[in-house]
């Protein structure tokens, strides 16, 4: 084979082609990256605060379907229900859906295109603060969002899946559940309490002895901390897990009842530090 003087050898030509392809690919990646940043800049990140509530209408109970939103519920001094929502989004604004069933007001944070509640993490988030009359029943649920309820005197039914549930200073009947998340209840004065945890962790601390307590845990951990004067007719059960109740809590003649069980997890009931 005859090779013309000055023309590159086949190996050299291959190296030149590879270098050209590599440079072209790098240029394309830089263009795509720059375009993506430009799109992000054009879309932007928006923030808005909105407020609403019962607007003078009589309310006998409140239900909040929080989804992935961060939800707080606190008492107010009048008979109104009010809320303030801080909303953040990249593409389309979320909204707070208000609906009525009789005299029950239901609040649901929603992102556009979401049919079952808030779809956080896709450029959309909501922090919802709700104020309610202290004595009316409140039901609040969440999935991965954090929920906080404090200072209420009415019945509270609170449930989260993987989020954190914080309850403080409640005085009415209480039902609280955490799936794989965490439940922490403090300064409770609820006469009846039903505390449940799945694979997560729950701790309930009572300021005043409850009259009736039910506690259930699956594969997680549940701890009840009671005042020193608490005495109960105790029922305790465990599957492959452990269920421990302080001996001083047990009194067959007591008027109060404590029903506690663990499946494969660990449940305890005892006194706060300084008690018997």
- Residues 58-86 have pLDDT tens digits of 999 999 999 999 999 999 999 999 999 99
3 state SS of 25: helix
pLDDT for res 91: 84
- Give the whole-number percent of the chain exceeding pLDDT 90: 74
Q: pTM of the entire structure?
A: 0.82
Mean pLDDT (the chain) is: 87
What is the C-alpha to C-alpha distance for residues 235 and 228, in angstroms, rounded to an integer? 19
- Comparing 20 with 153, the larger pLDDT belongs to 153
With bands split at pLDDT 50, 70 and 90, how would you rate the model's confidence at 44? Answer: confident
**For residue 237, what is the enclosing H or E element?**
strand 233-238
With bands split at pLDDT 50, 70 and 90, how would you rate the model's confidence at 22? Answer: low
Q: Looking at the predicted structure, is the pLDDT value of residue 130 above 70?
A: yes
Q: List, in order, residues 6 or more apart from 165 with CB less than 8 Å away.
A: 142, 146, 147, 148, 158, 159, 176, 178, 181, 182, 183, 184
With bands split at pLDDT 50, 70 and 90, how would you rate the model's confidence at 33? Answer: very low
Mean local confidence (pLDDT), 208-226: 98
Closest CA to 267 of 231, 235, 228, 227: 235
* Domain map (residue ranges) of the chain: 44-133, 146-276
pLDDT for res 27: 54
pLDDT for res 123: 80
Q: Is 81 exposed, middle or buried (0-12, 13-18, 19+ CB in 10 A)?
A: buried
- Residue-wise pLDDT for 142-190, tens only, equals 999 999 999 999 999 999 999 999 999 999 999 999 999 999 999 999 9
Q: Looking at the predicted structure, is the pLDDT value of residue 1 above 90?
A: no
Closest CA to 110 of 189, 1, 122, 100: 122
DSSP-assigned letter for residue 55: T
* Tokens standing for residue 267: 């449940």
Q: Looking at the predicted structure, is the pLDDT value of residue 42 above 90?
A: no
- Residue-wise pLDDT for 226-270, tens only, equals 999 999 999 999 999 999 999 999 999 999 999 999 999 999 999
Q: Looking at the predicted structure, is the pLDDT value of residue 35 above 50?
A: no
Q: Looking at the predicted structure, is the pLDDT value of residue 25 above 80?
A: no
What is the C-alpha to C-alpha distance for residues 239 and 222, in angstroms, rounded to an integer? 15
pLDDT for res 30: 47
């Amino acid at each position: 084979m005859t090779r013309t003087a000055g023309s590159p050898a086949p190996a050299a030509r291959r190296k030149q082609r590879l270098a050209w392809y590599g440079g072209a690919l790098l240029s394309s990646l830089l263009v795509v990256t720059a375009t993506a940043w430009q799109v992000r800049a054009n879309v932007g990140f928006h923030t808005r605060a909105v407020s609403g509530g019962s607007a003078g209408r009589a309310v006998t109970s409140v239900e909040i379907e929080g989804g992935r939103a961060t939800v707080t519920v606190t008492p107010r001094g009048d008979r109104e229900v009010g809320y303030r929502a801080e909303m953040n989004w990249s593409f389309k604004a979320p909204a707070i859906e208000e609906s009525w069933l009789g005299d029950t007001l239901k609040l649901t944070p929603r992102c556009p295109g979401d049919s079952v509640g808030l779809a956080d993490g896709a450029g959309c988030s909501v922090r919802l603060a709700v104020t309610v009359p202290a004595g009316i029943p409140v039901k609040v649920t969440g999935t991965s969002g954090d929920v906080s309820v404090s200072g209420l005197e009415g019945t509270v039914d609170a449930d989260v899946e993987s989020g954190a549930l914080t309850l403080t200073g409640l005085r009415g009947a209480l039902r609280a559940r955490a799936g794989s998340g965490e439940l922490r209840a403090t300064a409770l004065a609820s006469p009846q309490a039903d505390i449940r945890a799945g694979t997560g962790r729950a701790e309930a601390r009572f300021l005043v002895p409850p009259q009736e307590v039910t506690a259930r845990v699956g594969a997680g951990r549940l701890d009840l901390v009671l005042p020193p004067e608490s005495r109960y007719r105790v029922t305790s059960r465990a599957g492959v897990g452990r269920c421990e109740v302080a001996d001083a809590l047990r009194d067959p003649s007591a008027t109060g009842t404590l029903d506690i069980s663990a499946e494969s997890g660990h449940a305890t009931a005892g006194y706060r530090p300084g008690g018997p």
